[in-house]
Amino acid sequence: MNAIVEDIHDPHPDIRVIRLRVTSAPVTWLAGQFMELSLPGLPSRPYSIASAPHTGVLEFHIRNTNRGGVSQQVRSLKTGDTLTLRGPFGTATRGSADQDPMILIAGGMGLAPMKALIDDALYHGHPGPVTLYWGARTQKDLYLADYFTVLAQANPVFTFVPVIEDRGDGLVGDAAIRDPVPLPGASIYLSGPSPMVQATIPLLLAQGAQTGKIHTDDAAGRLLLGTP
Ligand SMILES: Cc1cc2nc3c(=O)[nH]c(=O)nc-3n(C[C@H](O)[C@H](O)[C@H](O)COP(=O)(O)OP(=O)(O)OC[C@H]3O[C@@H](n4cnc5c(N)ncnc54)[C@H](O)[C@@H]3O)c2cc1C
């Protein structure tokens, strides 16, 4: 399907946020899913949808890896340009009627699908608690910290826990299991570097999290969970 670039901004020197509107046919997606994005002459790449479905606008957060691929070419996009998408794909989603406590654990760019899940949950009146743990090396890497701080002030059911390695907070998965959250009943979402996902799953299971309630699209993480 074709999509037109409606808006571009760079909240961090390496991260570009693009908003697209599909022009070829209406697209529906579930919070937490991803799409394959194609640019001319390059192999396509998957990117998580960072916007909730009710917005009707597809938002992607893309970190430039500087290796000549899609994430670098995205730096040349301008508003009004057209690109090609496939999807949506992925099963680390939530039903809009799901009222279980939500724990979202993100490393780095793993934040993108979590933003969609949180915005979707709050839009549908989730009773809470909804808790986001977002880990990064430095404060500057938490490029949407202000967004989630304001969201938490406006929504008492939502808590934002930044986990910054450089100030000694440790790893994001460890931070999540230290808190007295109701792990056995919670829906838990994991997204980020595969080693982070793989290290965190056993910690969650050891604390009583239910296998069927841990959601990730990380292939190695899904193997650990025994989910197809
Ligand atoms: C489910 C999922 C969700 C993801 N979500 C996000 C997200 O929200 N945000 C994010 O930043 N990342 C996300 N990623 C990572 C993302 O998919 C890419 O792996 C990342 O952006 C790097 O892609 P790249 O093409 O820029 O670089 P690389 O994968 O390193 O590709 C560079 C490669 O492009 C090829 N190439 C370069 N130039 C050419 C050319 N001229 N012709 C042909 N081939 C060429 C070469 O093979 C080169 O090695 C996600 C990954 C997965 C699996």
Map 6-71 to HEC letters: EEEEEEECCEEEEEEEECCCCCCCCCCCEEEEECCCCCCEEEECCCCHHHCCEEEEEECCCCCCHH
> Does 193 sit in the ligand 1 pocket, CB within 6 Å?
no
Q: Whose CA is nearest to atom 31 of ligand 1?
A: 69
Per-residue pLDDT at 208: 87
Residue spans per domain, the chain: 2-89, 102-225
CA distance linking residue 184 with residue 204, whole number of Å = 9
> Does 13 sit in the ligand 1 pocket, CB within 6 Å?
no
> Does 180 sit in the ligand 1 pocket, CB within 6 Å?
no
Per-residue pLDDT at 199: 95
Q: Which CATH architecture has domain 102-225?
A: 3-Layer(aba) Sandwich (3.40)
> Does 47 sit in the ligand 1 pocket, CB within 6 Å?
yes
Place of tokens 């939502």: 158
Q: Whose CA is nearest to atom 27 of ligand 1?
A: 69
Pick the CATH number of 2-89 from 3.10.450.750, 1.10.1060.10, 2.40.30.10, 1.10.760.10: 2.40.30.10
Per-residue pLDDT at 71: 97
Q: Which of 42, 91, 144 to mutate to test the pocket of ligand 1 (most atoms within 8 A of CB)?
A: 42
Per-residue pLDDT at 180: 64
> Does 45 sit in the ligand 1 pocket, CB within 6 Å?
yes
Per-residue pLDDT of the chain (228 residues), as tens digits, is 999 999 999 999 999 999 999 988 889 999 999 999 999 999 999 999 999 999 999 999 999 999 999 999 999 999 999 999 999 999 999 887 789 999 999 999 999 999 999 999 999 999 989 999 999 999 999 999 999 999 999 999 999 999 999 999 999 999 888 876 667 789 999 999 999 999 999 999 998 899 999 999 999 999 999 987
